[in-house]
Structure 1
Amino acid sequence: MTTEQTSSVTYPNLVPSIVVRDVPATLEWFNKLGFATVFTMPGPDGSIVHAEVARDADTRLMLGPDSWGHTPGSTGMSLYIKADGSVDAYHDRVTAAGIAVTEPLTDQFWGDRTFTVEHPDGYRFTFWEHVRDVSPEEMQRAMAQMASS
């Protein structure tokens, strides 16, 4: 992955930014997912106006409060994030930390094993691990079967 050096921090080329209702609670939520809080910026009143969480050099997310005309919530976008090691072991750590899983561990027809969690503001995060290679023909058959169901 290509990264860019900004001041003393190296950022991946794509860093999603989400708006949330409660920044401190969201930082705790991501900490339970295994992300570290790597930056917070307080506003004049002491509340957090910008924060960043990261799991590694390639997995970083910015977040901020619902202000300046931005509102939290799902916009039809979800993030597909490679699990930190085994997706099954990661799933166990996440559920043990009290994070509710909205889509259970599933072997997908395209060869990934996934599970999904939803942030309280509606953002969806699907964690995955590639478990088998699938030929284009096999994938096409699986899609056709799903469409006919």
Structure 2
Amino acid sequence: MNSTARPASVIPLRYVASVDSLRDFYLEQLGFDHLMGMVGKDGQLDFAIVQRGGAMLMLARPQDGGSLTAGALEIYVEVEDVDAYHAELSGRGVAIAQAPATQWWGDRNFSVVDPVGHTLWFYKTVAEPQPPAGVTMI
């Protein structure tokens, strides 16, 4: 990959039982902003987009009899200052799943788990990769 090229935006769409409660977690606990939403006939959100910096996440309730699908999902979100954001979330009482650490691939990151069980990694690239013995980067 060309080191100067920025990847195109990818916006995950997550189907959840309650858009309202998960949206509130992202806004109140993780400091995301509300970009837009659509309220369903029952007065609850059918759809919402939350964002932090350039990262966006779409949340939706299944429609037309659709179901929630199980499966692991981890989201990797770039932030300006990993340690400052970690301190901000810790100050809000957010449970940190993995404390900040600098990884061999050059990213400093930490993780939290959202209320529906998905892991969010917050990172900033701080160094060049230093692969451990036995690892070959291609």
Give TM class, smaller chain: 0.7 to 0.9
Whichever residue aligns with residue 102 of structure 1, its letter is A
Alpha-carbon distance in structure 2 between the residues aligned to 1:13 and 1:90 = 22
Q: Any idea what SS the aligned residue of 2:124 has?
A: strand
Quote the offset at 1:80 in angstroms: 0.8
Alpha-carbon distance in structure 1 between the residues aligned to 2:127 and 2:85 = 18
Deviations 1:59-96 (A, max 9, x none): 111002355323265x232111112x210000011121
Structure 1, unmatched stretches of 5+, are 3-11, 145-149
- 1:108 and 2:121 equivalent? no
Q: Any idea what SS the aligned residue of 2:127 has?
A: coil
Give the one of 119, 124, 131 matched to 1:139. 131
Q: CA RMSD in A?
A: 2.2
| Segment of structure 1 superposing worse, 12-21 or 95-104 | 12-21
- The residue aligned with 2:115 is 120
Structure 2, unmatched stretches of 5+, are 1-5
Whichever residue aligns with residue 127 of structure 1, its letter is F
Alpha-carbon distance in structure 2 between the residues aligned to 1:126 and 1:40 = 24
Aligned residues: 129
Give the one of 66, 70, 95 matched to 2:67. 70
Q: Any idea what SS the aligned residue of 1:127 has?
A: strand
More helix as a share of residues: 1
The list of structure 1 runs, each at least 4 consecutive aligned residues, that deviate by more than 4 angstroms after superposition, is: none
> Residues 1-149 of structure 1: matches in 2 within 5 Å?
1=6, 13-31=9-27, 32-56=29-53, 58-65=54-61, 68-71=65-68, 75-83=71-79, 85-134=80-129, 138-141=130-133, 143=135
More strand as a share of residues: 1
